Amino acid sequence: MPRTRADLLAIALFRGRSAASWRLSSLLSRTAYPAVFGSFGAGSVLDRPRTVLGPERIRIGRECVIGRDAWLACEPGGGPIDIADHVSFAPGVHLHAMAPISIGARTSFAESVYVGSAEHAPHDHSLIRGTGPVVIGEDCFVGLRAVILGGVTIGAGAVIGAHAVVTKDVPAGAVVSGVPARQHIR
> pLDDT digits over 100-127, tens only?
999 999 999 999 999 999 988 888 888 8
How far is 115 from 182, CA to CA, in rounded Å? 17
CATH fold of 5-184: UDP N-Acetylglucosamine Acyltransferase; domain 1 (2.160.10)
The separation between CA 8 and the C-alpha centre of its own chain, rounded to angstroms, equals: 34
Q: How far is 147 from 159, CA to CA, in rounded Å?
A: 13
Query: Residue 186: its pLDDT value, please?
Result: 62
Quickly state the pLDDT bin for 94 (edges 50, 70, 90). Answer: very high
**154 forms bridges with which residues in the sheet?**
136, 170
H-assigned helices in the chain: 5-31, 33-36
Which among 120, 123, 125, 184 is annotated as catalytic?
Answer: 120
Task: Please name the amino acid found at residue 12.
Answer: A
Separation CA 50–CA 71 (nearest Å)? 6
In which element (H, E) is residue 141 found? Answer: strand 141-142
pLDDT score of 22 more than 90: no
Cα–Cα–Cα angle for 74, 34, 82, rounded to 5 degrees: 40
Domain boundaries, the chain: 5-184
Amino acid, single-letter form, for residue 144: L
Please give the model's pTM, rounded to 2 decimal places.
0.87
Handedness of CA 143, 114, 185, 138 (dihedral sign): positive
Q: Say yes or no to pLDDT of 80 above 50.
A: yes
125 flagged as catalytic: no
